[in-house]
Amino acid sequence: MKTFIFDCDFQVQPGQFVNVWLPRIDEKPMSVAFADGKELHLTIADVGPFSRAMHELKVGDQVGLRGPYGKAFTFEPNQSIAMVGGGFGSAPLYFTAFHAVQAGCTIDFIIGARREDLLIYRERVEKLKGATLHVSTDDGSVGHKGYNVEILQKLMNEKNYDMIMTCGPEVMMAAVARIADEKKVPAQISLERYMKCGFGLCGNCCVDKTGDAICTKGPVVPLEYVKQVEEFGKYHRDDLGKKHKF
């Protein structure tokens, strides 16, 4: 896993994505991990041919960036927010937290991963004043042994949040959404679907049953919206439109 820092003046809101282009290889949507109008950060794991090619780049190499696209996470000043990130979902949540604490929000930042070395952004979050880090790992190598959702559940028994934000594996987000719904707390969920164009024309990221393209309707959508998304937590579609279960 690497974080790439680009000289890039895009004005990006946390939760938005950019399409990253390597000529003659491919172009993929990537959630922005940080941007301030001068730099743009992307945290990318080495998981396939495209990300492998990214990892082989050297400092000074150029890539194509277009965007930013999609809807961002939103918050009001001085809110109490729980952020639940799984795996690489922590990156856009960190970006959101960075802005939210400046607006006087207090944040419980709950991240989970299979094991300690897969936890990302721990150090960055620990440095944020106003954010409290909570960690879980499947193997118990650090923090709570089990799921981050269990931490959320426990915290919610002790305190009231104004907002829950989540980004990560969909099964985890579906669990977060259920808890938020039960406790009647507003939530924002960052949906991931197979996106090609990024601006609502190709139709590859349209979800059942609403039929909306998630690249423009989302990726961040409110809890009320995912309740209409029949496939949420159940299945997604591939580049040909075929369904695959989570």
Partner 1 sequence: MDTSIDFLGVTFPNPLVLCSGYLGITASTWDNLARKGAGGITTKSIWLNEHKGHNNPVILANEDFICNAVGVPDAGIEKAKEEFKEYLKRNNGVPLIVNIIGGKADDFVAITEAVNELKPQLIEVNISCPNVEDEHGKPFATSCPDAARVTKMVKSVTDIPIIIKLSPNVENIQEIAQAVVEAGADGITAINTYGPGLVIDIDSAQPILANKVGGVSGPGIKPLAVKKVFDIAAAVDVPIIGMGGVKTGRDAIEFMMAGATLVGIGSALYYRGEAAFKIVLDEMVEWCEASGVKSFSEIVKKTHSVLDSSSSL
Distance CA 114, CA 32 (A): 23
Structure tokens at 159: 């305190």
The answer to the question of residue 208 lying near partner 1 (CB under 8 A) is yes
Burial group, residue 61, by CB count within 10 angstroms (0-12, 13-18, 19+): exposed
Among 202, 222, 234, 235, binds partner 1 (CB under 8 A): 202
Stretch that binds partner 1, among 126-134, 137-145, 181-189, 201-209 (CB under 8 A): 201-209
Stretch that binds partner 1, among 68-76, 106-114, 174-182, 199-207 (CB under 8 A): 199-207
Number of H helices, E strands in the chain: 7, 15
- Within 26-85, which residues bind partner 1 (CB under 8 A)? 26-28, 62, 64
Among 3, 116, 212, 235, binds partner 1 (CB under 8 A): 212
* Beta carbon of residue 23, minimum distance to partner 1 (angstroms, whole number): 4
Distance CA 27, CA 197 (A): 9
C-beta of 124 vs 193, nearer to partner 1 = 193
* Beta carbon of residue 121, minimum distance to partner 1 (angstroms, whole number): 27
Dihedral, 22, 1, 100, 167 alpha carbons, nearest 10:
90
The answer to the question of residue 241 lying near partner 1 (CB under 8 A) is yes
C-beta of 116 vs 212, nearer to partner 1 = 212
> For 44, which DSSP code?
E
- Whether residue 18 contacts residue 10, with contact meaning beta carbons closer than 8 Å, is answered with yes
The answer to the question of residue 19 lying near partner 1 (CB under 8 A) is yes
The answer to the question of residue 206 lying near partner 1 (CB under 8 A) is yes
* Beta carbon of residue 64, minimum distance to partner 1 (angstroms, whole number): 6
Structure tokens at 7: 């000289």
The answer to the question of residue 96 lying near partner 1 (CB under 8 A) is no
Instruction: Identify the helix (H) or strand (E) that includes residue 161.
Output: none
Stretch that binds partner 1, among 24-32, 67-75, 85-93, 98-106 (CB under 8 A): 24-32
Strand order in the sheet with 39-44: 2-7, 39-44, 34-35
Angle between helices 148-158 and 170-182 (to 10 degrees): 10
C-beta of 27 vs 192, nearer to partner 1 = 27
C-beta of 40 vs 111, nearer to partner 1 = 40
Distance CA 64, CA 10 (A): 13
What is the three-class DSSP state of 62? coil
Q: Which residues bind partner 1 (CB under 8 A)?
A: 19, 21, 23-28, 62, 64, 196-197, 199-204, 206-213, 216, 237, 239-242
